[in-house]
Amino acid sequence: MYEILVRPCGDYATNCYIVKHELGDIVIDPGKGALSFIKENSNKVLAILNTHGHHDHIWDNKLVAQEFNAPLYTPKDDIFMLKNPFYGFLPSDDIAIAVEDKEELVFNGLKFTFHHFAGHTPGCSMIEFDDVYFSGDFLFERSIGRWDFEFSNADDMVNSLEKAKNLKDDFYLLPGHGNQTKVSLEKPHFDSWIRYIKQC
């Protein structure tokens, strides 16, 4: 059995998740200040997973990796974003292991699958675990990720939303910000978002 813990971290209330299991834990998107939350709730981190490379999701990558001697996995097209020291975080591109679309990672029997949904960032991904998608900044409750940032791409976002129509309806979405939702509740809005993006 497992449980999923969450705490909003940093200035942007970025959700850091811990998948807790008796054999060890998986950390997803350790933002600014996440290390203290993780230390309070885990003594064995098996791995750190990033949904994408924006600074508010990767700020404590290096700190958590050093504290627990844990490997770090990041979508390959976003690893370059882990090296920029402008924001003040410790660069972690030197320790990041590149993950491909549809790549499966298994830790003590816990399987996580990365699904590439570019647009918000070049490597933006959702991470599938059991009946959950950790959706990062691609899908939120009644919203989607922005496509007007540096390295974002509106055409890629449209293509990703079209692709997302094939997601499993009964899966939960655990986003990078805000409340959890379900795929079945968000799919009806995809076409409206696609039209809106094309009109911008």
pLDDT in tens, the chain (200 residues): 899 999 999 999 999 999 999 999 999 999 999 999 999 999 999 999 999 999 999 999 999 999 999 999 999 999 999 997 678 899 999 999 999 999 999 999 999 999 999 999 999 999 999 999 999 999 999 999 999 999 999 999 999 999 999 999 999 999 999 999 999 999 999 999 999 999 98
Rounded to an integer, what distance in angstroms lies between the CA atom of residue 127 and that of residue 96?
Answer: 16
Predicted pLDDT at 113:
98
pLDDT of residue 88: 85
How far apart are the C-alpha atoms of 110 and 167, rounded to whole Å?
Answer: 21
Per DSSP, 167 falls in state S
Let me know: does 38 contact 46? Beta carbons within 8 Å: no
Q: What is the pLDDT of residue 24?
A: 97
pLDDT of residue 84: 76
CA separation for the pair 71, 65 (Å, rounded): 6
CA distances for 121 relative to 4, 44, 67, angstroms: 25, 30, 28
b/e map 106-126, b = 16+ CB within 10 Å: ebeebebbbbbbbbbbbbbbb
Alpha-carbon gap, residue 23 to 110, rounded angstroms: 9
Q: How many helices (H) and strands (E) does the chain have?
A: 6, 14
